[in-house]
Amino acid sequence: LDAGVRARVRAAERVAFARVCALAIERGAHALVIAGDLFEQEHVTADTVAFITRQLGRVRCPVLITAGNHDPASAASPYRVAGWPTNVVLALESRPTTVDLGEAILVGLGYSGKDLSPSVLQRLPGRGTETRPRLLVVHGVDLDSASSEFKWGGLGLRAADLDGLGFDHALLGHVHAGGSGGRMSWPGSPVPLDPGETAGQHGALWV
């Protein structure tokens, strides 16, 4: 993309991100979830990080962010070095990060590198005697809905995985066109990131 198009996409992304935060406030969300690739680590600027943290600081509910394959939690990542608002919980490792919302429980997994092995699922806590809804938050792909030719190095999930792990639903990232299935949902990128992505859903999901 040329510089002018990139600038317009960045501006649209900022407007969309601010609107998502505003909706969380207006609707009284119990939590705001971002399942990875909040930024492109190689290209993120201090101004972008300041904008993100400022917007999230406006939100009055907990915010759970899981690192993805494009924004893995390396030592130099803004996730590690920036000042994040106190309502933000960062899931930066393959070990689970839990947020108790009272009525439901969020469990997040993060990428510390470009890949995330399926073996991380075995480290997740079981449901035990817990009766409240449990939602898994991770940068991943719903393999039940993906093409059989779809290949990537990150985490893939099936509904059977959620059953075996005791999760009611998974909130995912990665795929730029949003989708909502019976057991897994993902919002897609807030706006189309290039002309080839104008089809499909883009925005946020209200769960």
- State CA 118 to chain mean position distance: 17
d(CA 90, CA 27): 23
Residue ranges in the chain assigned as alpha helix (H) = 3-26, 46-58, 78-81, 159-165
Residue 126 sits at φ, ψ, to 5 deg, of -75, 170
Helix axes 3-26, 46-58, angle to 10 degrees: 20
Residue 202's pLDDT is 92
Give how far Cα 114 sits from Cα of 74, 100, 110, 139, Å. 10, 28, 10, 11
Q: What is the pLDDT of residues 38-96, one digit of tens each?
A: 999 888 999 999 999 999 999 999 999 999 999 999 999 999 999 999 999 999 999 99
Determine how many CB atoms are found less than 10 A away from the CB of residue 41.
19
Residue 44's pLDDT is 93
Both tokens of residue 164?
């075996």
Both tokens of residue 159?
């509904």
Residue 6's pLDDT is 80
State which residues of the chain have pLDDT below 70. 1
d(CA 158, CA 151): 15
